[in-house]
Structure 1
Amino acid sequence: MTPLLSVENLSIGFGRGDAVVRDVSFEVMPGQTLALVGESGSGKTVTCRAVLRILPKAAQIRTGRITLNGQDGPLTLNQLGERQLRAIRGNRISMIFQEPMRSLSPLHRIGNQVSEVLWLHRGASEREARKTVLEQFERVGFPDPERAYNSYPFEMSGGMRQRAMIAMAMVAKPDLLIADEPTTALDVTTQAQVLGLIKELQRETGMALILVTHDLGVVANMAEQVVVMHKGRVMESGSAVAMLKDPAHPYTRQLFDAAPEIPDTQAVGLPMPQDDLILEMKDVSKTYTMRSGRGWQPHKQIYACRGVDFRLARGKTLAIVGESGSGKTTAARIALGAEPPDPGGQVLFRAAPGDAPLTVHDMTRAQRTAFQRQAQMVFQDPYSSLSPRMRIQDAMTEPLEIHRIGTRAEQRDKATEALERVGLNADMLKRYPHAFSGGQRQRLSVARALMLDPAMIVCDEPTSALDVSVQDQILTLLEELQEGLKLSYLFISHDLAVVARIADEVAVMRQGLVVEQAPPETLFHNPQHPYTKALIAAQPEPDIDRPINLKLVALGAGAPDTWAEAFRFTDSVIPSLVEMEPGHKVRCHA
């Protein structure tokens, strides 16, 4: 059988430097899924971009041949003219990029950007394109396709923007889909549904897939063939079944060892202590008003958080888990004072044991300055949170300058100490953020958060964009810092395996509500709520014999009115959180 795409002895270099991709070869058959696996910087993305010739100007394809076979015969992609390539990009070969915010135009509505593919390559009218795009939006999991169609990228969460990118790549039903970490920014239930959707489209259209990922659980659920890359070279390649059951290369085994998993051992977790609370959120709600955009239509109320009650003990970790748009980040922003809650909600903070509680949203200027020193945040996207125009030294010392702490020499010494604490070197202070890998930038974000010696850190998806080995390093770092500095973490994540490792208590959120809350040992081995069960079922495992149960995922991740009677809720009828056992609360009709 003739392969759809063949890559032979591909080598890519930048400028006059050594090749960053060396002698890479692989084939993709029609309808087949090939997984490219490896750490950040291994050459996976550069290899895929070479297929579509969308490399940076400084990059050159030095050797090799990239051939696309079809009804018109073989086409050597690295020798085609630009006009011929434009007819292939987005039509016969589509690509899903890892960073949706940098791939979508901030000036155009999401619907128009996705429709453009159909206008250019299918000659569809605006009405036809709109209908097709809305259908695709529904298939990739948008709860309100019309709202998504008329939204701008900055009005959507990271997970929602990634869904839009997936819809854009798949709406033209290409022969080959190149997916560069397509589910990194998605929660596990949406990830499972999107992976199921891609498989369904493959069955319908015979589409081939090149899947770039660091998640071995995704590989086990999707791939027939696997290519493992490290430092620009292929370390191991072959069938997914053989490789997942018995990896031969030491590097492949290292990747397996670093992958986090939900532990199988059953245990009963102890509730988080309540005697020394650093943060307390009481009946916190947040409502936004979304303008309709049309004068005759009423404005829409968006309930980001509803009646949230959180208690974080000093030196402990409270993890908030849920799908994109469930209210996790909004709750964290309210906890930090960046967003005011609706009237009636209250956030209390105690900087030290025995201190009188400080009402976060009713502080004087002096109190707010002191609070900002005690509570810091590590953001989801380390590249966006570090200014590309500032050297690392300036980015690190900026908080000290704002709070007027220390001399220039003392600030520099503090920055050196913080870098060493997170496993980086002092000679990196003179570099700019673009000179670091994703994992190093995340370490820099953690180091910057430590500059003011905070008591509490909010970690917003700190490991979601990292490959498994770097993720393992960051989690180990956070654990060591917590033990050494007695830090308290409010940890936001959609990765249950990560949460199982780091959390002392887990709160599961859906549509702004906490639907279940318990210690991880209790929650993962005795889940009660259908949405919690869906989250656990959707967690991909690096085991070819344990595929994701899409039916169970769809049941729990569906609309609340499809759940069992005891768990259903509407905007007007919301059941209470009921304590089923000590420390284990479930939102249900008692």
Structure 2
Amino acid sequence: MTALLTVENLTIGFDNAAPVVDDVSFSVKPGETLALVGESGSGKTLSCRAALRILPAAAQVRSGKVLFAGPEGATPIDLMQRSERQMCRVRGERISMIFQEPMRSLSPLHKIGNQVTEVLRLHKHMGKGEQLKRVLAMFERVGFKDPERVYNSYPFELSGGMRQRAMIAMAMVGRPELVIADEPTTALDVTTQAQVLGLIKDLQQEYGMAVILVTHDLGVVANMADSVVVMNRGRVMESGPAPLVLSDPKHGYTRDLMAAAPEIPATPVDKGKETERDYILEMRDVSKTFTLKGSSPWKPKTVVHAVRGIEFGVERGKTLAVVGESGSGKTTCARMALGAERADPGASILFRSEKGAEPVDLQKLNNVERLAFQRKAQMVFQDPYSTLNPRMRVKDALMEPMEIHGIGNTSERMDRAAEMLRWVGLSQNMLTRYPHAFSGGQRQRLSIARALMLGPTFLVCDEPTSALDVSVQEQVLTLLEEIRDRLNLSYLFISHDLAVVARIADEVAVMRSGLVVEQGPPDQLFYNPQHPYTKALIAAQPEPDINRPINLRIVAQGAGEPSTWPDAFRFDGLDAPPLTETGPGHKVRCHV
């Protein structure tokens, strides 16, 4: 079969520097899915943007062709030689793109429906009524329960998953021959990711489109791709049919990516024998309610139950992982565990700085006591890019916590900063640099170093690896494990990635809509899950194994409304069943 799109010897650079895309070649056939795989900076996105001629203004295409096949039997056209007017007829109509971050790609000033309709207005000869009909049909096809509401909504009124579905609708509504999907699920929760991947695959089969999937996740590749091109530092390392590359990778870089891909172990990991529990933090009967104003003065206020009846503890020297999707309440739990958010009256949040010490109730701290507690409890945030002040040198960012708490003189603070850099695997000569000079993984190491400056005993890690490539994620997880064991730290680890949690956690609490639905040690929760939502999270975890595809039926059932769950777990509204112990240390929210 003749290739639909062929990239030949593409080289792209900036100014006089070495090329960032160097002699790259690949092709995709009609109806096929090609995965471009690599870490950030590998050149995969630039290669795809070159095909659409939407490169940054400073980028130089130094050599290469991008051939796009026309109607059957016609001579392929070189997109690099087309005029801008000719390219406008190609973009959106024949080739479309799903961007990584929909909030940045959608106009915040225009309604979703108007933005999607624009594709038809520019490229199809349709009346307004026919345009509306097709857009609403596409909204229904991508899974919107109320297409008309979405049509009249602005992007900020939709969740991340809904915005990504709107982006897919925009890319698909013109029935293009090729769709380029640039990390279309990176920012999504795991069950939403599984459903979006299934949606792309269904629409591809329905319309006969080819797909180029840009990703760093080999689990996504295993579920979607027919062929794979592995890129590193602007060059193609390995390419071939997906089953062959994933089952028998030949290049060392591909093997390293495979080894770094997180997955739930096939057999339970022994976390050691159960001993007497020494809790550094206990949360008992913890709830958090927010009251939101109505959209207008005459509309009633809305009560949001962010967290309901939390009962768990973090053991000293161990890791409690709280797993859940966006809106589940896990970050609210983390903020209450640090005293940054007050729980509803009646809650008890107790902290013991040392074994046998008198507990401190975080709900009743005065300013002096709160400052003392903050020396013992610190946080590692999700986004390493926004954590550090871009105007502060590394040394100033690291020394700031000691200055706030009045610890040491300038020389002692500098020595402490240099020591913390060594602990996280960075060099002392980085102290004088600014954050923009570091990669994402290095910035996350700096964030960990900053959290350790005061010598805490308790760390809250809020999605510390979700913004990182798989190999960098592996390095940061190893670092967190080493530091925990070295300093006897205790972690409250927030995540939506069960594969990461299976590796680092000693106990896991699964949250959904403010409730813990299942809780227990990893060897029970992952290998004997009881709750349909836990089963959905496990089923939605993409694995780099072509023979273990995502089971969308299990995902759809567990991710659905509680009123659709099996009888033992079903409930309506706020009337949830209790958290019941079904085995040693294993609790499930179900009807007894």
- Asked if these proteins are the same fold (TM beyond 0.5), I'd say yes
Calculate the TM-score normalised by the size of structure 2.
Answer: 0.91
Contact 1:40–1:437 (Cα < 8 Å) also in 2: no
Does the C-alpha gap of structure 1 residues 381 and 199 become closer, same or farther in structure 2, counting only changes over 3 Å? same
Other-structure match for 1:23: 23
Query: 2-side partners of 1:87 and 1:454: how far apart?
Result: 59
Corresponding residue for residue 6 of structure 1 = 6
Does structure 1 conserve the Cα–Cα contact (< 8 Å) formed by 2:268 and 2:522?
Answer: no
Superposed, which structure 2 residues align to 1:88-487 within 5 Å? 88-104=90-106, 117=119, 162=164, 165-266=167-268, 275-293=277-295, 297-487=299-489
Sequence identity percentage: 68
Give 2:41's aligned residue: 41
Give the conservation status (yes or no) of the 8 Å contact 1:140–1:193.
Answer: no
- Say if 1:212 and 1:531 are closer, same or farther in 2 by CA, change over 3 A: same
TM-score calculated relative to the size of structure 1: 0.91
Is this contact kept in 2: 1:273–1:313, CA < 8 A?
no
- Over residues 273-330 of structure 1, what are the superposed CA-to-partner deviations in whole Å (9 max), with x where a residue is unaligned? 6642122222222233444535665443332222122211111111111222222222
Q: Provide the C-alpha distance between the structure 1 equivalents of 2:55 and 2:386, rounded to a whole number of angstroms.
A: 21
Distance 1:370 1:270, change over 3 A: same
What is the letter of the counterpart of residue 20 of structure 1? V
Structure 2: 5+ residue runs without aligned partners?
none
User: 1:18–1:457: structure 2 CA closer, same or farther, 3 Å change rule?
Assistant: same
- Paired position in structure 2 for 1:548: 550
Q: Which range is displaced more, 341-350 or 256-265?
A: 341-350
Instruction: Give runs of aligned pairs for residues 523-534 of structure 1, distance below 5 A.
Output: 523-534=525-536
Deviates more, 1:193-202 or 1:163-172: 163-172
Q: 1:328 to 1:435 in 2, by over 3 A?
A: same
1:518-539 residue CA offsets vs partner (Å, 9 max, x unmatched): 1001111111111111111111
Match 1:514 to one of 513, 516, 519: 516
Q: In the superposition, relative to structure 1, how do residues 145 and 203 fare at CA in structure 2: closer, same or farther (>3 Å)?
A: same
State the alpha-carbon separation in 2 of the partners of residues 154 and 544 from structure 1: 37
Determine if contact 1:271/1:519 at 8 Å carries over to the other structure. no
| 1:509 counterpart SS class | strand
Q: Distance in 1 between matches of 2:273 and 2:303?
A: 35
Q: 1:187 Cα shift?
A: 2.2
Distance 1:67 1:504 in 2: 53
- Deviation at residue 77 of structure 1 after TM alignment: 2.8
Between the aligned partners of 1:371 and 1:94, the Cα distance in structure 2 is 53
Match of 1:581 in 2: 583
Give the aligned residue type for 1:377.
M
Which amino acid letter does the alignment assign opposite residue 60 of structure 1?
Q
User: Which whole-Å CA distance do the structure 2 matches of 1:330 and 1:129 have between them?
Assistant: 43
Q: Indicate the residue corresponding to 1:64 in structure 2.
A: 64
1:145 Cα shift?
7.3
Please identify, of 422-431 and 202-211, the stretch whose mean Cα deviation from structure 2 is larger. 422-431
- Deviation sequence 1:18-66 (CA, Å, 0-9, x none): 1111100001112211111122322222222222333333321111112
1:489-542, Cα deviation, whole Å (9 max, x unpaired)? 111112111111100001111111111001001111111111111111111121
What amino acid is aligned across from residue 440 of structure 1 in structure 2?
A: Q
Code of the aligned partner of 2:318: K
Q: Rate the CA distance shift 1:135–1:429 in 2: closer, same or farther, 3 A.
A: farther
Structure 1 residues 143 and 424, CA gap change in structure 2 (3 angstroms): farther
Distance 2:404 2:153 in 1: 36
Aligned residues: 590
Structure 2 match to 1:495: 497
Closer/same/farther in 2, CA of residues 282 and 527 from structure 1, 3 Å limit: same
The secondary structure found in structure 2 opposite 1:199 is helix
| 2:348 aligned partner, one-letter code | Q
Partners of 2:493 and 2:435 lie apart in 1 by: 24
Change (3 A) 1:431 1:269: closer
**Distance between the aligned counterparts of 1:189 and 1:573, measured in 2?**
24
Q: Once the 2 structures are TM-superposed, how far is the Cα of residue 445 of structure 1 from its aligned partner?
A: 1.9
Which shows bigger deviation, 576-585 or 46-55? Answer: 46-55
- Give me the CA root mean square deviation: 3.0
Whether the aligned pair in 1 keeps the contact of 2:37 and 2:216 (CA below 8 Å) is yes
Q: Determine the C-alpha separation between the residues in 2 that align with 1:4 and 1:429.
A: 50
Q: Quick check: 1:271–1:518 contact (8 Å CA) kept in 2?
A: no
Matched letter for residue 47 of structure 1: S
The one-letter amino acid of 1:14's match is F
Q: Does the CA-based 8 Å contact 1:21-1:232 persist in structure 2?
A: yes
Q: CA deviation at 1:545?
A: 1.4
Between 2-11 and 71-80, report the one with greater CA deviation.
71-80
SS at match of 1:16: coil
CA contact (8 A) 1:506 1:519 kept: yes
Structure with higher Rg: it is 2
Q: Which moved more, 1:199-208 or 1:158-167?
A: 158-167
Q: Per-residue CA shift, 1:444-500, capped at 9, x if unaligned? A: 222222222222221122112222211111111010010011111111112111111
Q: SS of the counterpart of 2:199?
A: helix
**Shift of the alpha carbon at 1:199?**
0.2
- Residues 455 and 215 of structure 1, relative CA distance in 2, 3 Å threshold: same
Q: Distance in 1 between matches of 2:449 and 2:272?
A: 31
Alignment of 1:78-97 (within 5 A): 78-97=80-99
The C-alpha deviation readout for 1:251-293, integer Å capped at 9, x for no partner, is: 2122212222211225787797664212222222223344453
CA deviation after TM superposition for structure 1 residue 83, in Å: 4.2
Q: Is residue 258–residue 472 contact of structure 1 (8 Å, CA) maintained in 2?
A: yes
Checking the alignment, whether the CA contact within 8 Å between 1:181 and 1:212 is kept in structure 2 is yes
Q: Distance between the aligned counterparts of 2:129 and 2:585, measured in 1? A: 53
Q: Are the aligned partners of 1:270 and 1:583 in contact in 2 as well (CA < 8 Å)? A: no
Give the stretch that moved more between structures: 494-503 or 326-335: 326-335
Query: Are the counterparts in 2 of residues 244 and 542 from structure 1 also a CA contact under 8 Å?
Result: yes
Code of the aligned partner of 2:36:
L
- Unaligned residue ranges in structure 1 (runs of 5+): none
2:154 and 2:339 mapped to 1: Cα distance? 26
- Please tell me the residue identity of whatever aligns with 1:30: P
Given residue 53 of structure 2, which amino acid in structure 1 is its aligned partner? R
Q: Which residue number corresponds to residue 574 of structure 2?
A: 572
Moved more, 480-489 or 348-357: 348-357
CA contact (8 A) 1:24 1:233 kept: yes
Q: Structure 1 residue 125: deviation in Å?
A: 8.9
Distance 1:304 1:161, change over 3 A: farther
Residue 87 of structure 1: CA displacement?
4.4
Q: Which amino acid aligns with 2:561?
A: A
Alignment check: 8 A CA contact 1:141 1:190 kept: no
Quote the Cα distance in structure 1 between the aligned partners of 2:544 and 2:518: 27
- My pick for the range that moved more, 467-476 or 74-83, is 74-83
